[in-house]
Structure 1
Amino acid sequence: MSAMTLLIIAVAGVAVLLLAVIKFKIPAFLALLTVSVLVAIAAGIPLDEVITSVQSGLGGTLGSVAILVGLGAMLGKMIELSGGAEALAGKFTRILGPKRVTAALTAAAFLLAIPVFFDVGFIILVPIIYGFAKAAGVNPLKVGLPVAAIMLAVHVVVPPHPGIVGGAGVIGSDIGWITIIALAICAVLGVPAYLTAKWMNRRDYPMLPATAEQFRLFGSGKSEVELESGAGGTAVKTKTEVQAPPSPAMIIALIVLPIVMIMLGTVSAVVLPEGSAALPALGLIGSPVIALLVTVFLAFIFLGIRRGWSASTTGEVMDAALAPAAIVILVTGAGGAFGKVLTESGIGTALAETLSSAGLPILLMGYLLAAVLRAAQGSATVAIVTTAGLLAASVGAGEYSALQMALVTIAIGFGAFGFSHVNDSGFWIVTRYLGLSVADGLKTWTVLTTVLGLCGFALTSLLWLVLSPLAG
């Protein structure tokens, strides 16, 4: 099948999906699964492999997302109902003033994103985003949009994140140079991330009803906990008086703990020699699942039991967090299924191979190839590694310096930064937690990631012009 035919199928698939969700209000989960099957058939995937491809994409995404979202939701609910998020937000708002808290949280997110995957870090910060938005009296989108953007920027271009590390390995770039340059560029990108998000937020975007209700009730359990649960329509209410909200220091500790644990695992893998007896244990401690699991248990004790809640009430609070999280999990998984179908159909690879014959400068080629692959199949990691493979021979034959090879790899990363849309699982995580409809998500999150990807590439190109003569 020709690249043009595959492109038409991909564009038609995305158009049908957007029409189904935006115009006909079909639930995103149902629409994503249906369009995934239709695109797989149209792209020529054998009929007996269509469902396998969809299930593989769904399962692969859920395997990495479901546990993290579930544990993150539990931690967030405990921080919320204990009054901890409001206490932390209130303290920082008093210290910095309402106009500065978003910039401060964006700067903090830049640091937190270095050792932590994008989805994990964002989920951990969701209750803090809600708390700061409540304290400032604004839509959480105004706080969450720049925070999510800078975290994704770090995720795509700063080691030890998998896409950039894999791309560097394929091309043979120096990880040290990539880390130094990418951190510097991302620090600068925090400014356009904040300003662009602020410009977008000049207008108010209506929140999805479910998210609006969740945000309205956020922090309502400051003085007491009241839950309604039960099967068969029978409501069970639990009210338990609790102590004063936990200190901001306690909340900061619970947020930082999983970050430190993950960082410990990451650093140990780099510092310790291969075959070290300590590596498996530190790797286990530093895995995101274990880091969040330990933190949730500590929240169970210090935000629940130690503050006057019974074990059963604390358990019900955590269980109550899973129902709204299930929507995020399933929609994200369906987005992964759509991306998997697009990948297996060969749409992205066919387009990239066609583009690679255009004879463009190596830096621009890396950015464009990664951008095309990102838009076509959704995964930034796949886009980076695939683009690196397509360009490896050209880079190897070009006699580039170590510094130039690092810049080429970073340019590829920024190409994979933009065009986050309906085939990207991260799109659904951000839009669902911030209460954006698909249409508003395309107007805000998709545009913001694309603008910042272009800004990152522009800065990378500037460094190429300035540093290449020195490197030569």
Structure 2
Amino acid sequence: MSHTTLLLIAAAGVATLLLLILRAKVQPFVALVVVSIGVALAAGVPAADLVKTIEEGMGGTLGHIATIIALGAMIGRIIELSGGAASFAHSLIDRFGSKRTPLALTVAGFVLGIPVFFEVGLIILMPIAYGVARASRKPLLVYALPMGAAMLTVHAFLPPHPGAVAVTQAIGADQGLVLLLGIPLTAAVVLLGYLLSRRMTRREYPMDPAVHAEVYGEDPAPESTGGVAPMDDGHGTAVLTKPAPAATGLDPAAPSFGMVLALIVTPILLILAGTLGQNLLAEGSTLRAVLTVLGAPMVALLIDVALCAYLLGARRGWDRAHIANVMGSALPSVAMVILVAGAGGVFGKVLVASGIGDAIADVLDRTGLPALFLAFLMALTLRAAQGSTTVALITTAGILTPLLERADLSTGQLSLVALAMGAGGLAVSHINDAGYWMFTKLAGLDVASGLRTWTVLTTAMGTIGFALTAALWPLV
């Protein structure tokens, strides 16, 4: 089959995928599997090999990332339900002082965004933003905009979030290097985003009267700040409900700032130690072997789950059954994310098995564009087209993997390519993105104001992230 025919099949497959997700409202997992089967058959993959190709794509992807995503979700859930997240945010506000409260909430969003999924983190921190906006009588957006953008930035760039984990595995990057390069890069993007948001929030935007009354009402009691809590709607999607009044207050018995911070950074330090050990210590060294095991992402996260269960659970009076229930409650919300990641792996496997991947690689090679720019541009385009950061990153990785294999890039360069995809996945959060609607509804913004603030800021931060990634390219 000619390259032109294969490219037309690929284009038709991506167009069908977008139509199924956007127009027909088909769940992304189902859409990815259906399109993968259609593309495979159209490209001439033998019917006898079809099921094997799908199984290899699903198994090869989930075998690496399913455990990491699930363990990361458990850590975030324990921190959330123990009161550690709210305690951490309040402690930062106390340390930064009233004049720097927006920066304190931005830092809280960045740090808590590492173990906690974006939607959950927004639900935890938004009531705190409500409270400080009421106390200061300043616009809610001053606090909420940089805080929300910080959490979305971490979600797009860093493991253990599903898109970053899937991309790292698909293109052969190293998670330790992605963290080593990505954490300071992401911190710089968040800081610059905070400075941009300060300029954007100098003017006031129309606010939904119900949210305005909730934030600035006369009743100063914590329950009137309008906190929200996540529940599952039966389809793996977070919906908003009112919490019990105590959920918006700070529990005096909540975990300390230092304990929460230590539990968040423990797996990161273990993974970085493993990466450094493999690069700096001699082969056969006992220390290198120990650090390699401890620094494996699955092992590092498993250790942290055990620490969280003991320090935030058992030591504070939770019995074993309650700890098990809390950990189990983290899984329904990530089950569909894991399946979407697996389906993305199927799509990538089909592209390789059918020869479409090589055809795309040929075309992209002839453009003369750097792999880093192609990764950013493709992820940004898919993100803008269908809304989901995770789907955009996984699909981009599947399409570009053959090109990256030809390019013979180093592990450090592949890690930067993964971060460039993350930058594209951060940008252009608009009306087809569930995160856009969640933020704008909680912040009381109408559609036009959301586009002028949230969409502009996320796009600017994604572009900044790519620029910083490109600046690091000569160094690796």
With the length of structure 1 as denominator, give the TM-score of the two structures: 0.65
**Does structure 1 residue 323 correspond to structure 2 residue 354?**
no
Aligned to 2:211: none
Aligned to 1:64: 64
Indicate which of 101, 105, 126 corresponds to 1:133.
Answer: 126
Aligned to 2:153: 149
What does residue range 138-287 of structure 1 map to in structure 2 within 5 Å?
143-149=147-153, 189-190=189-190, 210=233, 211-213=237-239, 244-287=253-296
Indicate which of 326, 351, 354 corresponds to 1:342.
Answer: 351
Query: 2 CA distance for matches of 1:448 and 1:318?
Result: 34
- Residue 88 of structure 1: CA displacement? 0.9
- Residue 255 of structure 1: CA displacement? 0.7
Task: Choose 67-76 or 242-251, whichever is displaced more.
Answer: 242-251
1:11-61 CA distance string (max 9 Å, x none): 322222232233223222222222221121112222122222222222222
Residues 448 and 50 (structure 1), Cα distance of their counterparts in 2 relative to 1, 3 Å cut: farther
Describe the SS at the equivalent of 2:265: helix
The answer as to whether partners of 1:77 and 1:321 remain within 8 angstroms in 2 is yes
Task: Tell me the amino acid that sits aligned with residue 102 of structure 2.
Answer: K
**Does structure 1 residue 104 correspond to structure 2 residue 107?**
yes
1:136-191 CA distance string (max 9 Å, x none): 14898964544443675578xxxxx96899689xxxxxxx9x99999987665445
Describe the SS at the equivalent of 1:21: helix
- Residue 283 of structure 1: CA displacement? 0.9
Query: 2 CA distance for matches of 1:134 and 1:340?
Result: 43
Describe the SS at the equivalent of 1:245: coil
Query: 2 CA distance for matches of 1:76 and 1:377?
Result: 22
**Does structure 1 residue 51 correspond to structure 2 residue 51?**
yes
Query: 2 CA distance for matches of 1:289 and 1:279?
Result: 17
Indicate which of 354, 360, 364 corresponds to 2:363.
Answer: 354
**Does structure 1 residue 89 correspond to structure 2 residue 89?**
yes
The answer as to whether partners of 1:163 and 1:384 remain within 8 angstroms in 2 is no
Residues 253 and 162 (structure 1), Cα distance of their counterparts in 2 relative to 1, 3 Å cut: same
Aligned to 2:224: none
Task: Tell me the amino acid that sits aligned with residue 54 of structure 1.
Answer: I
The answer as to whether partners of 1:265 and 1:283 remain within 8 angstroms in 2 is yes
Residues 446 and 77 (structure 1), Cα distance of their counterparts in 2 relative to 1, 3 Å cut: same
Describe the SS at the equivalent of 1:357: helix
- Residue 8 of structure 1: CA displacement? 2.5
Query: 2 CA distance for matches of 1:100 and 1:383?
Result: 38
Describe the SS at the equivalent of 1:100: helix
1:278-321 CA distance string (max 9 Å, x none): 22221111111111111111222221221122222222222222
Structure 2 gap segments, 5+ residues each: 131-139, 160-166, 208-229, 383-391, 427-432, 440-446
1:60-107 CA distance string (max 9 Å, x none): 222222212222222222111111111111222344454224543576
**Does structure 1 residue 312 correspond to structure 2 residue 321?**
yes
The answer as to whether partners of 1:284 and 1:290 remain within 8 angstroms in 2 is yes
What is the percentage of aligned positions where both structures have the same residue?
Answer: 33
Structure 1 gap segments, 5+ residues each: 113-120, 156-160, 169-175, 225-241, 396-404, 422-429
The answer as to whether partners of 1:126 and 1:433 remain within 8 angstroms in 2 is no
Residues 435 and 105 (structure 1), Cα distance of their counterparts in 2 relative to 1, 3 Å cut: same
Task: Tell me the amino acid that sits aligned with residue 8 of structure 2.
Answer: I
Aligned to 1:35: 35
Task: Choose 213-222 or 261-270, whichever is displaced more.
Answer: 213-222
The answer as to whether partners of 1:262 and 1:288 remain within 8 angstroms in 2 is yes
Describe the SS at the equivalent of 2:335: helix
Query: 1 CA distance for matches of 2:350 and 2:455?
Result: 21
Q: Number of paired residues?
A: 398
- Residue 339 of structure 1: CA displacement? 3.0
The answer as to whether partners of 2:17 and 2:35 remain within 8 angstroms in 1 is yes
Describe the SS at the equivalent of 2:36: helix
Query: 1 CA distance for matches of 2:393 and 2:76?
Result: 31
Aligned to 1:300: 309
Describe the SS at the equivalent of 2:322: helix
Residues 352 and 133 (structure 1), Cα distance of their counterparts in 2 relative to 1, 3 Å cut: same
Task: Tell me the amino acid that sits aligned with residue 301 of structure 2.
Answer: L
Residues 184 and 243 (structure 1), Cα distance of their counterparts in 2 relative to 1, 3 Å cut: closer
Query: 1 CA distance for matches of 2:357 and 2:33?
Result: 20
Describe the SS at the equivalent of 1:99: helix
Query: 2 CA distance for matches of 1:253 and 1:419?
Result: 30
Residues 431 and 75 (structure 1), Cα distance of their counterparts in 2 relative to 1, 3 Å cut: farther
Residues 252 and 68 (structure 1), Cα distance of their counterparts in 2 relative to 1, 3 Å cut: same
The answer as to whether partners of 1:61 and 1:336 remain within 8 angstroms in 2 is yes
- Residue 245 of structure 1: CA displacement? 1.3
Residues 28 and 218 (structure 1), Cα distance of their counterparts in 2 relative to 1, 3 Å cut: farther
- The alignment's C-alpha RMSD in Å is 5.1
Residues 417 and 8 (structure 1), Cα distance of their counterparts in 2 relative to 1, 3 Å cut: farther
Residues 348 and 247 (structure 1), Cα distance of their counterparts in 2 relative to 1, 3 Å cut: same
The answer as to whether partners of 2:119 and 2:238 remain within 8 angstroms in 1 is no
Describe the SS at the equivalent of 1:213: strand
Residues 90 and 415 (structure 1), Cα distance of their counterparts in 2 relative to 1, 3 Å cut: closer
The answer as to whether partners of 1:420 and 1:446 remain within 8 angstroms in 2 is no
Query: 2 CA distance for matches of 1:218 and 1:280?
Result: 48
Task: Tell me the amino acid that sits aligned with residue 341 of structure 2.
Answer: T
What does residue range 357-436 of structure 1 map to in structure 2 within 5 Å?
357=366, 360=368, 364-367=369-372, 370=375, 378=394, 386-387=402-403, 389-391=405-407, 416-417=421-422, 420=425
With the length of structure 2 as denominator, give the TM-score of the two structures: 0.64
